[in-house]
Structure 1
Amino acid sequence: MPICKNCGKRWAWKQTVKTLFRLKCPHCHKRQYESASSRKRTAMIGLIPLIALPINELLNLPWWMVGVLMLPMIAVIWTIYPFIIEISDEEEPLW
């Protein structure tokens, strides 16, 4: 779970999911940023649903079934995301 760089308090899973898109500390209300290494790591995890495209071609599944198969993958990613995110008190360049 992320730890605020300003107040040093650990965020709970629910707090992390609630503030996922704005990354504001639920304790001190200061703006936090996702670290560059965390953004790279989560970008790779975000590519996992693309596995559905070759599966669709190999098994000749209808598109609606591929969508149904992707829902559990997206749910798993959404569930583990707060455990792998790292935050920083300043925005870091990606490279």
Structure 2
Amino acid sequence: MPICQNCGGKWTWNQTINTIFKLKCPHCGNKQYESASSRIKGGCFALIPLLILPINAWLDFSVGTALILAAIFAIIVLGMYPFILKLSNEEEPYW
């Protein structure tokens, strides 16, 4: 789970999901930024739903089935996101 780099407060899963777009610490109220390593890991997890495209073509799923699988993968990725999120006090470049 993410730990605020300002106050050291550990965020819960619910707090992380609730602040996923603004990343404001629920304990001290300071703005936090996603670290570069966390953004790279998050980008890799975001590519998982793209696996549906070749599987869909290979197994000839219907459009509805492919959309349901994409939604399931998206929920899994969003559910795992708080576990890979690392915070920083300032915005970091990718490299």
**If the length of structure 2 is used for normalisation, what is the TM-score?**
0.96
Q: Give how far 1:73 is off.
A: 1.1
1:64 paired residue number: 64
How big is each residue's C-alpha offset from its partner over 1:12-49, in whole Å with a ceiling of 9 and x where there is no partner?
11000000011000011100000000000110010000
Deviating above 4 A after TM superposition, structure 1's stretches of 4 or more consecutive aligned residues are: none
Letter in 1 for 2:49: P
How big is each residue's C-alpha offset from its partner over 1:33-79, in whole Å with a ceiling of 9 and x where there is no partner?
00000000110010000000001110111212100112221111111
In structure 1, distance between residues paired with 2:21 and 2:79:
15
Unaligned runs of 5+ in 2: none
1:31 paired residue number: 31
- Residues paired across the two proteins, number: 95
Unaligned runs of 5+ in 1: none
In structure 2, distance between residues paired with 1:63 and 1:72:
14
In structure 2, distance between residues paired with 1:76 and 1:68:
12
Identity %: 49
In structure 1, distance between residues paired with 2:49 and 2:27:
33
Once the two structures are superposed, the pairs formed by residues 8-47 of structure 1 within 5 Å of their partners are 8-47=8-47
**If the length of structure 1 is used for normalisation, what is the TM-score?**
0.96
